[in-house]
Each structure stands twice: as structure tokens, then as C-alpha cells.
Structure 1
Amino acid sequence: MNMFRFLGDMTHLFSVLVLLLKIHTIKSCAGISLKTQELYAIVFATRYLDLFTDYISLYNTVMKLVYLGSSLSIVWYMRRHKLVRRSYDKDQDTFRHHFLILPCLILALLINEKFTFMEVMWAFSLYLEAVAILPQLVLLQRTRNIDNLTGQYVFLLGAYRSFYILNWIYRYFTEVHYVHWITWISGLVQTLLYGDFFYYYFHSWKNNEKLQLPA
């Protein structure tokens, strides 16, 4: 494992910890999109179907369990925990995320590395992850005022994908026959979606101001 892959995994892990810290400690999910969290739960559930059939390493297995378990627990907190559920802004989180699922599934059926159930589900999870952040970004634009933990969570998610792109570039030049177009293009699309958020995040950090997105 190279440094970029490790940093990507760690920033992804920290993003989850930041969100769980906010939900568990403050008992608030204000500014967090349930729609995005549900999409991530679907992403990890379909990507890690090989969890108990293909063993790669202890590290790999633990990280899969952490991502899957944390995504399901976040959805549970936001839907079932009384105190957390009260802070959820359902009226603002109205992105129709269901309309993202079917196009991603159709795309996976048409474009995949191998037409088997596991490979189609793997491709589906990549396509869906690429756009899963959209409900969250739309919610942030509507609410505008973003608290620190929510801003850190979204920033770390974007940083995770950016490090993975560096990981792919590194592996392309250091490994023989390392080519995964589906993964690369999906990851690039996902990273580009964070572009506007990154701009305003660094602008607020530079000027020591509260993070706000334009309406």
C-alpha cells in the first residue's frame, strides 16, 4: 500500500468519525443529508458483497466492516434516534436521490469489467458513489450557514477522493498493466463535484470566516 492510498483511507475514516462525533456527542444531524447517507449505505452494501468470500488482508476486512457498519449506524441514528431525528431538516433535504439509483444500475449493466453479479454490483457502487454527495451539497447550498463539524466532514470526504486519485496516478506509473477506467472516471467525477465546496472552504479558512455557500 502506498502513502496516497493510506492517506485516502485515513481521511475517509476521519470523515466518518467526525460525523459520528457530531451525531453521538451533540445529538444533532443538522446540516447532514439523510439522502446522501442512505446512498452511501447502498454503496458499501453492494461494494462489499465479497466481505466473507474473498479475504485480502486484515486491514482490508476491518476497513470494509467500519465503512459498512458506520454508514448503517448513521442512517439508523438519523431515522430512529429521537434526539438526533429532531434536528434533521427534512424540509430542506428534498433531493430525489432515488432517481440516482436506477441510472447507475443501468450504467453498471451496460459498462462493467465483467458481466457477473459481483462485478456489476461493484461497478454500480462506483457509479453511485460518484454522485452520492449531490444531496448533501444541495442541502448545504440551501442552508448556507454550515457548522464546523459538517464542513469538516464534507471536506474530509472530498480529500479522501483526491488522495485516491493520486494513488491511481502513482500506481499507473509504478505497476504493470494497472488500468481501471471505470474506477478512474467515477472517482474523477466525484472529485469534481467537490470543486465549488473546496473553493469556499479554503476561502473561509484563509479569511478566518464562517463557511458559507452561495444560494
Structure 2
Amino acid sequence: MNIFRLIGDLTHLMSIIVLLLKIHTIKSCAGISLRTQELYALVFVTRYLDIFVSYISLYNTLMKLIFLGTSFSIVWYMRYHKTVRLSYDKSNDNFRHYFLIAPCLLLALVLNNRFTFREVLWTFSLYLEAVAIIPQLVLLQRTRNVDNLTGNYVFFLGAYRGFYLINWVYRYLTESHYRQWITWMAGLVQTALYADFFYYYFKSWKNNEKLKLPA
């Protein structure tokens, strides 16, 4: 594993830590999309089915368990915790995220490396992860004023994907047989969705202002 992938994994983990810090410390999920969190939970379930049948490394297994456990705990807190759920902005978090699932599954059935159960679900998880952030970005655009923890959470999620893109370029240049067109395609789509957010995030950071997104 190269340094770019390691940094990508750590920034992904940092995004979850920032979100859990907000939920556990402030007892609030204001500005967080439950629909995006549900999509991420589905992403991890379908991607990490191999945890029960194959072993790669202790690091790999631990990271999978962490992402599975934290994603479901976040969904639970937002849905059922007596204090946290009261801060959930249900009225603005109304993007119909279920409509993202069917096209991703259909695409995975058509475009995959091998037509097997695990491979189709793994490919589905790539396509779904690429668009899972959409409900979150829509929610932020509707509310406009973004608190620091929420802004940093989305920033670290985008940074994770950015470092993975660098990791893919590095592997392409250093590994003669490294070709993963489906992964690259999904990753590019996912990164592109963050472009507008990154622009306003860095603009607010440069001007030392509160992050505000355009209506």
C-alpha cells in the first residue's frame, strides 16, 4: 500500500471521526443528511461481504469493521437517539435517495468485471458511493449556512477521494498491469460532485469567513 492510499484511508476515517465528534459531543446532527448516511451504510455492506470469506491483512479487516460499525451507529443515532434525532432536519433532507439505488444496481449488472454475485455487489457499491454524497450536498445547499464540523466532515470525505485519485495515478505509473476502469470512472464522478463545495470551502477559509453555499 502506497502513501497516497494510506492518506486517503486516514482522511476517510477522519471524516467519520469529525461526524461522530459532532454527534457525541454536541448531541446534534444538524446539517447532516440521514439519507446520505443510509446510502453509505449500504455501500459498505455490499462492498465488504468478503470480510466473511477472505483475509487480506489485519489493517484491511479492521478498517472494514470500523466503516461498517460507524456507518450503522451514525444511522442509529440519527434515527433513534432521543436527543440527536431531534436536531435532524427532516424537512430539508428530502432528496429521494432511493432513486439512486436502482440505476446503480442496473449499471452494475451491465458493466462489471465478472458477472458473479459478489462482483456485481462490489461494483454496485462503487457506483452508489459515487453518488451517495448528493443528498448531503443538496441539504447543505438548501440550508446554506454550514457549521464548521459539518463543513470539515464533507471536506475530509472529498479529500479522501482526491487522495485515492492520486493513488490510482501512482499505481498506473508504477504497476504495469494495473487497470481498473470501473473504479476510475466511479471515482472521477464522485470527485467531480465535490468541486463546487471545495470552491466555496477554500474561499471561506481564505477569507476567514463562515462557509456559505449559494442558493
Smaller-chain TM-score range?
A: over 0.9
Which residues in structure 2 correspond to 1:147-162 (within 5 Å)? 147-162=147-162
Counterpart position of 1:83: 83
Counterpart position of 2:21: 21
Which residues in structure 2 correspond to 1:9-48 (within 5 Å)? 9-48=9-48
Counterpart position of 2:55: 55
How many pairs does the alignment contain?
A: 215
- Give the Cα–Cα distance (whole angstroms) in 2 for the partners of residues 212 and 36 of structure 1: 20
Q: Give the C-alpha shift of residue 136 in structure 1.
A: 0.1
Structure 2-normalised TM-score? 1.00
- Give the Cα–Cα distance (whole angstroms) in 1 for the partners of residues 61 and 79 of structure 2: 27
Deviations 1:55-104 (A, max 9, x none): 00000000000011100000000000010000000000000000000000
Counterpart position of 2:114: 114
User: Which residue identity is paired with 1:35?
Assistant: R
Kindly report the root-mean-square deviation, in angstroms, between the aligned alpha carbons of the 2 structures. 0.4
Q: Give the C-alpha shift of residue 176 in structure 1.
A: 1.9
- Give the Cα–Cα distance (whole angstroms) in 1 for the partners of residues 121 and 4 of structure 2: 26
Deviations 1:85-143 (A, max 9, x none): 00000000000000000000000000000000000000000000000000000000000
- Give the Cα–Cα distance (whole angstroms) in 1 for the partners of residues 68 and 175 of structure 2: 29
Question: Any stretches of 5+ residues in structure 1 without a counterpart?
Answer: none
Counterpart position of 1:190: 190
Q: Give the C-alpha shift of residue 52 in structure 1.
A: 1.6
- Give the Cα–Cα distance (whole angstroms) in 2 for the partners of residues 9 and 191 of structure 1: 15
User: Which residue identity is paired with 2:203?
Assistant: H
Q: Give the C-alpha shift of residue 16 in structure 1.
A: 0.3
- Give the Cα–Cα distance (whole angstroms) in 2 for the partners of residues 70 and 114 of structure 1: 30
User: Which residue identity is paired with 2:76?
Assistant: W
Counterpart position of 1:123: 123
Counterpart position of 2:94: 94
- Give the Cα–Cα distance (whole angstroms) in 2 for the partners of residues 2 and 177 of structure 1: 16
User: Which residue identity is paired with 1:19?
Assistant: L
Counterpart position of 1:180: 180
Q: Give the C-alpha shift of residue 46 in structure 1.
A: 0.2
Question: Any stretches of 5+ residues in structure 2 without a counterpart?
Answer: none
Q: SS at the partner of 2:208? A: coil
Q: Give the C-alpha shift of residue 35 in structure 1.
A: 0.3
- Give the Cα–Cα distance (whole angstroms) in 2 for the partners of residues 68 and 167 of structure 1: 23
Counterpart position of 1:65: 65
User: Which residue identity is paired with 1:86?
Assistant: L
- Give the Cα–Cα distance (whole angstroms) in 2 for the partners of residues 43 and 26 of structure 1: 27
- Give the Cα–Cα distance (whole angstroms) in 2 for the partners of residues 111 and 54 of structure 1: 24
Identity within the alignment, % = 76
- Give the Cα–Cα distance (whole angstroms) in 1 for the partners of residues 171 and 14 of structure 2: 24
Which residues in structure 2 correspond to 1:159-174 (within 5 Å)? 159-174=159-174
- Give the Cα–Cα distance (whole angstroms) in 2 for the partners of residues 106 and 214 of structure 1: 33
Q: SS at the partner of 1:30? A: coil
